[in-house]
Amino acid sequence: MQAQYPIKVQAIRSKGRTDRYYVFVPLPLAAAIGLAAGEEVQWSLTDKNTLFVKRVNSSATPPRSKKAKKGKQARRK
């Protein structure tokens, strides 16, 4: 299965700082590869038109969310 998710590169420009560029990973793509918030990835330039991304520590389990379930919170009060 090959899915495409077109995105735009966003630029952040601040006085006295160099420009920064951000690329957001669409949620369906992140879910498909099991990407989690806080996970570290590394970009590599394959050629002028292709970026390659890989996990820095591929053997590690992605961090889990620390959100509590609403039902458990309600019982604790």
Can you point out the beta strands (E) in 1-77?
A: 10-12, 20-22, 41-47, 50-55
What would the pLDDT profile of 40-64 be if each residue is shown by its tens digit? 999 999 999 998 989 998 765 555 5
- For CA atoms 34, 37, 40, 44, give the dihedral sign: positive
Q: Dmax over Cα atoms in the chain, in whole Å?
A: 56
pLDDT interval class at 76 (50, 70, 90) = low
Mean pLDDT (the chain, rounded): 80
**Among all chains, which residue has been given the structure tokens 């970009």?**
43
| Mean pLDDT score, 22-46 | 91
* Cα 30 to chain centroid, rounded: 7
Q: What is the pTM of this model?
A: 0.57
Query: Is 9's pLDDT higher than 90?
Result: yes
